[in-house]
């Protein structure tokens, strides 16, 4: 009888030690997994790969394939392209960025990274749009960075 109680006590002590060990590992993971990653100022000014803007690419010129080219290029820069489609018209002369979220600085940075003139960054809020910004590809698409 005494030997059986001793085995139960030993098993209970082992279980407690294992429980403390696994809780300690979880706590360690929580503390060090959520660490802050630091981006150097030089990198943040010259590198847009850290940007995670959700955008859509809209064809406003009617040329087949421009949306795919722009989407691939934007994703290579680190943007999250969540939708590709056609703009409401195909007679857009100059490509533009439409800020949908009120973050004009992000929209201007997107325009700069694509070669779109800053004067073609406009703000247009929409409850229908679930993206931060829209790229509208115009007839000037060959002058943009994805094609150069």
Domains of the chain, residue spans = 1-35, 42-147
pTM > 0.85: no
pLDDT digits (tens, 9 = 90+) for 4-52: 777 888 888 898 988 898 887 887 777 766 544 444 444 444 555 444 7
Dihedral, 140, 142, 146, 148 alpha carbons, nearest 10:
-130
Helix (H) or strand (E) segment spanning residue 82: strand 80-86
What are the residues whose beta carbons fall under 8 Å from the beta carbon of 122, sequence distance 6 or more? Answer: 96, 97, 98, 99
CATH architecture of 42-147: 2-Layer Sandwich (3.30)
CB 111 within 8 A of CB 120: yes
Do residues 88 and 62 touch, judged by C-beta distance below 8 A?
A: no
Question: Does residue 129 contact residue 96 with C-beta atoms inside 8 Å?
Answer: no
């Amino acid at each position: 009888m005494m030997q059986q109680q001793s085995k139960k006590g030993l098993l209970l002590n082992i279980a407690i030690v294992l429980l403390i060990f696994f809780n300690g590992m979880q706590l360690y993971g929580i503390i060090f997994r959520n660490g802050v990653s630091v981006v150097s100022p030089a990198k943040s000014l010259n590198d847009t790969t850290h940007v995670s803007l959700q955008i859509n690419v809209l064809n406003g010129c009617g040329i087949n394939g421009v949306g795919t080219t722009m989407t691939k290029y934007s994703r290579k820069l680190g943007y999250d392209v969540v939708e590709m489609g056609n703009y409401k018209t195909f007679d857009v002369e100059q490509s533009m960025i439409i800020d949908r979220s009120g973050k004009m600085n992000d929209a201007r940075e997107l325009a700069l990274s694509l070669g779109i003139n800053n004067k073609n960054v406009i703000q247009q809020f929409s409850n229908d749009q679930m993206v931060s910004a829209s790229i509208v590809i115009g007839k000037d698409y060959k002058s943009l960075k994805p094609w150069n």
